[in-house]
Amino acid sequence: MVPSPILPAAPPGCGGRAHERQLPCPPRGSAEAVNCFDCAGLGQTAGAVAVCADCGAGVCPDHAQVTARWLTRTAVINRTVVVEPPARTIRCRLCQQARDAAG
Ligand SMILES: [Zn+2]
Ligand SMILES: [Zn+2]
Which residue range forms the structural domain that includes residue 8?
1-31
Q: How many angstroms separate the alpha carbon of residue 87 from the centre of ligand 1?
A: 23
Q: Are residues 56 and 9 in the same domain?
A: no
Can you give the pTM of this predicted structure? 0.58
H or E stretch including 59?
strand 58-59
* Residues 58 and 85 reside in one and the same domain: yes
Could you list which residues have their CB under 5 Å from ion ligand 1? 36, 38-39, 46, 60, 62-63
Same domain, 24 and 37: no
Q: Are strands 65-69 and 87-91 parallel, antiparallel or unpaired?
A: antiparallel
Q: Are residues 47 and 5 in the same domain?
A: no
pLDDT tens sequence across 71-99:
999 988 889 999 999 999 999 999 999 99
Question: Are residues 15 and 56 both part of a single domain?
Answer: no
Task: Indicate if the pLDDT at residue 4 is higher than 60.
Answer: no
50 and 2 in a common domain: no
Is 82 in the same domain as 64? yes
Ligand number, closest to the Cα atom of 98 = 2
In this structure, the answer to whether residues 27 and 39 fall within a common structural domain is no
